[in-house]
Amino acid sequence: MLNEENQHLFRDALNHTNVGLIITDPSLPDHPIIYVNQGFVNMTGYQAEEIIGTNCRFLQGDQTEQEATNAIRQAIDKEESITVQLYNYTKNGTGFWNELTIDPMRIEENGETKLYFVGVQKDVTELKEKERLLKDALNEMEKLSTPIVPITNHISVLPLIGSITQARLEQLTNAISHYLARSKDDYLILDLSGLYEVDTYVAASLLKLNDLTQLIGTQLVLTGIRPELAIKTLDIGDHLIQLRTYLTVQDAIKALSKETID
């Protein structure tokens, strides 16, 4: 335990840390801040005298998500711990992502148990920006992994590489519909040789893509079908059997080119 002589070490340690720290008193009107460390001052730009006695909602602004603030309010009402990430604002109006952890703290005072809340703030703006850049890069990679290549005025090829997920299927559907609406191709060759894994979901996805191309007026042609895909299609019926298939893209282009010429 710290005695009165070295309590300043405790205060200096709290002020030395880079994270923000506040203590609030829910027994007082509007649940105000009663303690703030230097890390919070450095993070927000507000001085301690501007903060003490106020509710910490002054950090909120236009882009602060209501869902996060509601979750905080509910946790406080239930006297529970919570960690959320929410968009806050410094004194000069600069926005930053705040990873906020709130914990209830009960202390014996004058023979009674007094409830306080301790809030620890960490600026995670750089981390959130890296997450955003990574997400954008992954989305760009998804776009690059599904290029539709025009071969002739009537034939295009779409090589499928990797795996098909629900998000990928939605992206494929949008890409195909927008492309074919402009090109009005007679045939779209879907090459499956680059798929990592083949399962019933892939087969079902192909059926959906076939329905889409038929509505647009384009015939879907499959190439690169491996034996395992043919086996998987048995689980969902013989719909894919009705589709035209070729061993390779080259075989399909050769056969379809003759038809477009004729």
Alpha-carbon gap, residue 2 to 10, rounded angstroms: 8
Neighbours of 221 (CB within 10 A): 24
Neighbours of 202 (CB within 10 A): 19
The position carrying tokens 């060759």 is 189
Task: List the structure tokens of 104.
Answer: 């209830």
Q: How far is CA 237 from CA 71, 89, 92, 93, 247, in A?
A: 47, 57, 64, 60, 21
User: Which pLDDT score is estimated for 90?
Assistant: 96
CA atoms 38, 44, 50, 51: torsion sign: negative
Q: Are 143 and 182 in contact (CB under 8 A)?
A: no
Task: List the structure tokens of 29.
Answer: 């009107």
Alpha-carbon gap, residue 208 to 171, rounded angstroms: 13
Per-residue DSSP letters for 35-51?
Answer: EE-HHHHHHH---HHHH
Helix (H) or strand (E) holding 187: strand 187-195
- Three-state SS for 9? helix
User: Which pLDDT score is estimated for 261?
Assistant: 58
Provide the CB-side half-sphere exposure for 101 (13 A, CA). 9
**How would you class 146 by CB atoms within 10 Å of its CB: exposed for 0-12, middle for 13-18, buried for 19 or more?**
middle
Ranges of the chain with pLDDT below 50: 1-2, 10, 237
User: Which pLDDT score is estimated for 84?
Assistant: 96
Closest CA to 101 of 21, 17, 36: 21
Strands 95-109 and 20-24: unpaired
User: Which pLDDT score is estimated for 122?
Assistant: 93
